[in-house]
Structure 1
Amino acid sequence: MDATHEVFNQPELLVNYNLFEGNRGLRDALKFNAPGLDTAELARLGAQLGTADMQAHARLANVHLPVLHTHDRFGRRIDQVEFHPSYHALMSASVGAGLHGTPWANHESTSPHVLRAAGFMLFTELEPSSLCPVSMTYAATPALRANPAIHADWAPKLTSRHYDPVLKTWRDKPGVTMGMGMTEKQGGSDVRANTTRAVPMGADAWGQRFAVTGHKWFFSAPMCDAFLILAQTQAGLSCLFLPRVLPDGTLNAIYIQRLKDKLGNKANASSEVEFSGASAWLVGEDGRGVPQILAMGTMTRLDCALGTSGLMRQSLSLALNHTAQRQAFGKRLIQQPLMRNVLADLAIESEAACALSIRLARCFDHPEDAHEQALSRLLTPVAKFWICKRGSAFAQEAMECLGGNGYVEEGGEGVMARIYREMPVNSIWEGAGNIMALDLLRALRKPDAVAALAQELRAAQGAHPALDRLAAVLPVRLEEMASELQARRLAQDVALALQAALLCQGASRAVADAFCDSRLAGHWGQTFGTLPSRTDFDGIIDRAMPRQASQVQ
């Protein structure tokens, strides 16, 4: 049969490249926040994540979704989730890179949280949903210190770089992961409305043991080896450690009702579960579960900001790769003036998100520093709110750069559709926008938060007139403690001021000036692609290219 046409003017896929070496914004953020950081491990990870094999695993893990098996063929209850082998390959890679536990493993780096944050961001570019148990393990491990016996037994396995998917006792596994179960049908973010009950059953080597009866509306990821949950004891809402397999080798009474059919985050199994006298052990003070959960939430919210930043970077890379090769109206798309405006606008948004996320991670590397801890209380809700809010609009604009190719599911550019479905999750999970804005108001009740922000902004004083104007009025607004009605606007302005200050200190002049001119000085429209004509489009786009071979000559 004769061919009807020749296929041409279709771009080569973005594959077999180094995600870290091509990310100038991330590398500069690391230099600013962790001078002298050894990035050799990140370079190796970036090369691994850019390979065709790893991209295939990411695709297959999202095509072949998790399957729940409540019973075996003989009718015995098993409550197990079956994953495609590619999911396990992804888990092996992320755990092998230490993304679940580097800061808790006596790592030789002086900036282990920053190092881990950069790796987490890079892995998100490849596949984000498999990182759910990785993120929860990162957040849950230090919480176990509140039960020294459990921490002594589990911490070495939780920081191990060996991934073992088999359901068996922690003693028999080279490495383990942890999940969380907090929300219930009637409460959602209002965990104080939880009805799950925990009845004391005596004490053993792990401390006070409870029998837990109730449910969890979101239980991620159900094949983890253990979970931290909230349940009502006689003293009030408490944090409990709930293993999947009990010390005697029997399955705990955790019954998976169904898996959630989500918009995105497909490779990850989120579930609804019921407990029927499940065994759990107290972690921390009885009746003080909420403060413990808030401490863990600070870390998972960091990961939400990191994850969205990584997704922004990947969608930008795909847009740049496509437009650098695709021709229309006599020249490549990336040479078209209006497209250059869109790409440059996306590039500065992506770099600003990266800069703010890595700055937040730096706070975790200095737990004894009063300034860093005050800034952490302020930055966590601000970064989670603003970066995650920007994600969906960013992905839609990047998808439009690819036209119809970006909207389809198949092929390498089908990654864009997966990114778009994934974007809303980080804004919703671990506290939606209103929760974050209200958390900011709570953080401002401590005077050291206002002082910490002022100190951060002073470091960039004189870099841009628009930033100086905002920095002069922002601390006053913070001290006045804006009402709840204005909390979102306040979170937005704090985020923009900090992003501008960071870019002025750590990014290129072209990126910093364009960000301040557009986001702060008002020379910007209400959509991407409205940067002022004086913008250094060449400098911004060249800096953002994911690999040298794709740059415009």
Structure 2
Amino acid sequence: MNSTDVTHRPGTTHEVTNQAPPLADYNLFTTDAALGEALTRAGADWHRETLTRHGEALGKAQTLALADLANRHEPELHTHSPRGERIDEIEFHPAWHELLALLREQGLHALPYSDPRPGAMAARCAGYFLHAQIESGSLCPLTMTFASIPVLQREPALFETLREVLYTREHDPRDVPLAQKRSMMIGMGMTEKQGGSDVRSNRTEARAAGIETGRGAAYLLTGHKWFFSAPQCDAHLVLARTTEHDGSGAPSLSCFFVPRYRPDGTKNAVNVQRLKNKLGNRSNASSEVEFFDAYGVMVGDEGRGVATIIEMANYTRLDCVIGSAALMRAALVQAIHHARHRSAFGRPLAQQPLMENVLADLALESEAATALFMRLARAFEDSTDARPDDDSIDTTALEARAWRRIVTPAAKFWVCKRALAFTGEAMEVWGGNGYVEEGPMARFYREAPVNSIWEGSGNVMCLDVLRALEREADAAQALFLAWRRDAQTHPVLDAALDRLSVLLNGAPGTRETSARRIAQQIVLIAQAILLREAAHEGPHETADAFIATRLDEHDADCDRVFGTLPARFDHAAIIERAFPSR
């Protein structure tokens, strides 16, 4: 029997052709020109070699396999031991712990605090961005651990007992009392079923465990948390009532450090009722818990719980922006890679004009998101906690404060929203292959909505922008004046700032109705300013194409689909800059 007979015999396999090979064994950092340039602008070139090694490790086939394994083997809750003891243990696949060890090894949980130097925040954010392109679930406990540090630093006595296990770069997966651990992770628990974003309606109660009350005192918490992020963490920051009212008629909420084990080594009374069957990554555990006189220590002043924990939320919101930008970047490089290796109608997809338009448009959106979160990272490092009316604050500090307090919630709203449409468009580039779970695109798409919801949904963020504009009027003015100076030579940008001014100066009753439009306009102007800044470092069309399609009053349409760039721009050059041909 000859080979032709075998090939055509019924039941034999067909030859597989015109399928894109898996994208693997590439360097996530060195192939990202926008990230590399932003790192330089942030003064963090000292971290470039580390990011190069990290980018190479993340792109290896074995690391990608860890992400796949962690998301195919979901965590399992074991509420009781074989002897009937309440244990509330979460069992993870070993791949999960390998991913956490990789994150911890890079110092992404504490870098700006454990190694404070100029550019440290941007260095940390760049590393976080790289890891988020590979696996999102493992970032949740890391983000909360990172965000808890500035809150805990304000409690010197407590922080001294935690410093070493917080800063170490070793991952310790053991579920044992904190005194026995080599490292720790911290989560947060604010949301209750009756309130959601309205945390002031929380009903969990805290009563003093002894004679002492107030900051640093021990309390016993009783109540319920509807979303308790990463229940396997060694401790959580939690909101609870200490008195019925604070004098204004509103519940008096305080913040508490609630460890997984009591000081005597017994398990704390934080009972995991169930793990949430959520959309998105399958690797991480989200839960619903009840407190039955759970031990906790008050952090911050009594009745100032929201103000205390909101500092943590500011950092987690930045990570939401980074996480969504990373999903965009991951989906983009997968789409470009696929289009370069898949042919249709006689030529590669990447060489077809309409597909070039789609990919180039996605590349613009991705680079704008990258430039934005890296600028925010600089603001988190440069801004000051002094009030705007403090005469010692200079203009640079005021601008940094505006980026942090005003642009961050706007970015959290806009970038996280854009990730949904972005990942869907990138999935479509793959066609049917993108819709199946064997590839990465379905996981990216399922993950995309979470950052829009977590740490404040879109409306909450936009209303926060309005509050920040009112409370930080001097900082807002400093930022908008700086933008005006940058826009002097660009009529489209100048006109966009005029339209923003009209929105901001509208009647108070209309500003809330227009809050989403205001936040959107702030972000688009910020991104345009940043892309123009980057354009001075090399000849590329990203800034002009972005401004023309997002801010030009005649051509821009923010509700448009991707792939409607004017033909005058060099689409192929934009794509090559985004992800160079291998």
Q: Could you say what secondary structure the match of 1:151 adopts?
A: helix
Among residues 304, 307, 315, which one is paired with 1:299 in the alignment? 315
Write out aligned runs for 1:96-107 (5 A).
96-107=105-116
Is 2:342 the counterpart of 1:314? Answer: no
| Structure having greater relative contact order (Cα 8 Å, sep ≥ 6) | 1
Query: Displacement, 1:267?
Result: 0.8
2:546 alignment partner in structure 1: 515
Is 2:581 the counterpart of 1:548? Answer: yes
Write out aligned runs for 1:360-379 (5 A).
360-368=376-384, 369-379=397-407
Alpha-carbon separation, structure 1, partners of 2:219 and 2:368: 46
Give deviations 1:434-462, integer Å, cap 9, x for gaps: 00000000011031232133144235324
The answer as to whether partners of 1:91 and 1:130 remain within 8 angstroms in 2 is yes
The answer as to whether partners of 1:437 and 1:491 remain within 8 angstroms in 2 is yes
The answer as to whether partners of 1:253 and 1:275 remain within 8 angstroms in 2 is yes
Q: Could you say what secondary structure the match of 2:451 adopts?
A: helix
Query: Displacement, 1:476?
Result: 5.0
Among residues 401, 415, 422, which one is paired with 1:394 in the alignment? 422
Query: Displacement, 1:265?
Result: 2.4
1:233 alignment partner in structure 2: 242
1:447 alignment partner in structure 2: 473
Give deviations 1:23-73, integer Å, cap 9, x for gaps: 111112222333644311111111111011110110000000000000111
Give deviations 1:209-262, integer Å, cap 9, x for gaps: 001000100001001111100000026100000000122211101100000000
The answer as to whether partners of 1:456 and 1:501 remain within 8 angstroms in 2 is no
The answer as to whether partners of 2:398 and 2:478 remain within 8 angstroms in 1 is no
Among residues 337, 349, 356, which one is paired with 2:372 in the alignment? 356
Alpha-carbon separation, structure 2, partners of 1:56 and 1:459: 49
Alpha-carbon separation, structure 1, partners of 2:112 and 2:322: 16
Write out aligned runs for 1:131-210 (5 A).
131-202=139-210, 207-210=216-219
2:391 alignment partner in structure 1: none
Greater Cα offset, 284-293 or 502-511: 502-511
Give deviations 1:88-107, integer Å, cap 9, x for gaps: 00100011111111111034
1:415 alignment partner in structure 2: 440
The answer as to whether partners of 1:524 and 1:532 remain within 8 angstroms in 2 is no
Residue 211 of structure 1 aligns with an amino acid whose one-letter code is L
Alpha-carbon separation, structure 2, partners of 1:53 and 1:37: 28
| TM-score, scaled to structure 1 | 0.95
The answer as to whether partners of 1:444 and 1:478 remain within 8 angstroms in 2 is no
Is 2:85 the counterpart of 1:76? Answer: yes
Residue 452 of structure 1 aligns with an amino acid whose one-letter code is A
1:62 alignment partner in structure 2: 71
Residue 309 of structure 1 aligns with an amino acid whose one-letter code is A
2:570 alignment partner in structure 1: 536
Alpha-carbon separation, structure 2, partners of 1:146 and 1:308: 30
1:483 alignment partner in structure 2: 511
Among residues 333, 343, 368, which one is paired with 2:359 in the alignment? 343
Is 2:341 the counterpart of 1:333? Answer: no
Alpha-carbon separation, structure 1, partners of 2:478 and 2:60: 42
Give deviations 1:342-366, integer Å, cap 9, x for gaps: 0000000000111111111111111
Query: Displacement, 1:112?
Result: 1.1
Alpha-carbon separation, structure 1, partners of 2:485 and 2:235: 44
Query: Displacement, 1:316?
Result: 0.2
Query: Displacement, 1:424?
Result: 0.1
Query: Displacement, 1:490?
Result: 0.6
Residue 485 of structure 1 aligns with an amino acid whose one-letter code is T
Query: Displacement, 1:173?
Result: 1.6
User: Would the alpha carbon gap of residues 463 and 23 (structure 1) be closer, same or farther in structure 2, given more than 3 Å must change?
Assistant: farther
Q: Could you say what secondary structure the match of 1:371 adopts?
A: helix
Greater Cα offset, 1-10 or 293-302: 1-10
Greater Cα offset, 229-238 or 283-292: 229-238
Is 2:484 the counterpart of 1:458? Answer: yes
Residue 443 of structure 2 aligns with an amino acid whose one-letter code is R
Alpha-carbon separation, structure 2, partners of 1:158 and 1:484: 40
Give deviations 1:265-309, integer Å, cap 9, x for gaps: 211100000000110000010110011121111100000000000
Could you tell me the percent identity over the aligned residues? 50
Among residues 29, 44, 69, which one is paired with 2:53 in the alignment? 44
Q: Could you say what secondary structure the match of 1:214 adopts?
A: strand
Alpha-carbon separation, structure 2, partners of 1:459 and 1:129: 41
Alpha-carbon separation, structure 1, partners of 2:144 and 2:571: 40
Alpha-carbon separation, structure 1, partners of 2:359 and 2:184: 42
The answer as to whether partners of 1:459 and 1:501 remain within 8 angstroms in 2 is no
Query: Displacement, 1:374?
Result: 2.6
Query: Displacement, 1:204?
Result: 8.2
| TM-score, scaled to structure 2 | 0.91
Query: Displacement, 1:161?
Result: 0.6
User: Would the alpha carbon gap of residues 5 and 106 (structure 1) be closer, same or farther in structure 2, given more than 3 Å must change?
Assistant: closer
User: Would the alpha carbon gap of residues 478 and 452 (structure 1) be closer, same or farther in structure 2, given more than 3 Å must change?
Assistant: farther
Alpha-carbon separation, structure 2, partners of 1:4 and 1:143: 60
Residue 83 of structure 1 aligns with an amino acid whose one-letter code is F
The answer as to whether partners of 2:148 and 2:312 remain within 8 angstroms in 1 is yes
Alpha-carbon separation, structure 1, partners of 2:324 and 2:288: 25
Q: Could you say what secondary structure the match of 2:382 adopts?
A: coil
1:406 alignment partner in structure 2: 434
1:381 alignment partner in structure 2: 409
Is 2:435 the counterpart of 1:435? Answer: no
Query: Displacement, 1:423?
Result: 0.1
Q: Could you say what secondary structure the match of 2:254 adopts?
A: strand
Query: Displacement, 1:467?
Result: 1.2
Alpha-carbon separation, structure 2, partners of 1:500 and 1:449: 20
Alpha-carbon separation, structure 2, partners of 1:399 and 1:476: 38
Residue 550 of structure 2 aligns with an amino acid whose one-letter code is R
Q: Could you say what secondary structure the match of 1:250 adopts?
A: coil
Kindly report the root-mean-square deviation, in angstroms, between the aligned alpha carbons of the 2 structures: 1.7
Alpha-carbon separation, structure 2, partners of 1:313 and 1:456: 29
Alpha-carbon separation, structure 1, partners of 2:443 and 2:486: 37
The answer as to whether partners of 2:503 and 2:514 remain within 8 angstroms in 1 is no
Residue 264 of structure 2 aligns with an amino acid whose one-letter code is D
Residue 531 of structure 1 aligns with an amino acid whose one-letter code is L
